Amino acid sequence: MKSMQSKTIVITGASKGIGKATALHFANKGFNLVVMARNAQALDALVTQVEKNGGQAVAAVGDVSIYPDVERACKLAFEQFGAIDVLVNNAGLIDPISRIADSDVQAWDHIVDVNLKGVYHGMRAAIPLMLAQGGTVINISSGAATSALEGWSHYCSTKAAVLSLTKCAHKEYFAQGINVIGLSPGTVATDMQLAIKNSGINPVSQLAWESHIPPSWVAQAIEFLLSADGKNYAGTDFSLKNNEGRALVGLPAVS
């Protein structure tokens, strides 16, 4: 078994929010990092921050909706560090929020390209490289995967499809040592919540900022899912919205 300090993690959507928090969390745990996002400047700043603290990180500028970009990031991890132990499919969009009849067709289609096809692209590129030694794929999910929310037809539909991808990949690869797990964090204090707030559509937009959890909690949950106990949730969505899930991660309960 590899020590935690020798493991390599690939994180999409790593330039901000959950992705950045996850990168910094696992850099502090001694992981080698490959961080992917479209924003080259933000990625370079993240790599510099990691390296100043003694970690190892490389940037892979690219768009998860473009398969060759994702494939290049995964191959870079293999070439630089010899393996991919963990893939975090984090990149995702929700804006523009609108009701179906008012939606922009191209924008709706783009959400599918990023939120759904981006996750497929990540698994398609990483799983073949994981098969020799095993690994874990974490797909960032949402309560929207099993709920219908006004104005979120694009987001709910893609997150439901990602949950199905998680289940399919589990059925295909669990016996070969690959754990595919969804993580439904609830509402997180990121730029996505600002877009939701500004939309004014559905009850989520009315939540106070203080009700959202910090991105660092999601990173802690990912660490839990990489443990032996995390395997119990393979093929499912693990939720941080309930007190049972938070207790397992070591996070505060919700009153």
- Say what angle helices 153-173 and 117-130 make with each other, to 10 degrees: 20
Active site residue 155: yes
User: Could you give the CA distance from residue 88 to residue 108 in angstroms, rounded to a whole number?
Assistant: 23
Distance CA 179, CA 167 (A): 10
Round to whole Å and give the CA distance between 156 and 168.
18
DSSP structure class, residue 213: B
**Which residue is catalytic, options 67, 120, 155, 173?**
155
CA–CA–CA angle 235, 221, 249 (5° rounding): 105
> Please, are residues 150 and 204 in contact by the beta-carbon 8 Å criterion?
no
Q: Taking a C-beta distance cutoff of 8 angstroms, is the pair 211, 219 a contact?
A: no
Residue 125: partners with Cβ closer than 8 Å, 6 or more residues away: 67, 70, 71, 73, 74, 75
DSSP3 helix / strand / coil % (the chain, rounded to 5)? 55, 15, 30
Cβ(64)–Cβ(168) below 8 Å: no
Catalytic residues: 155
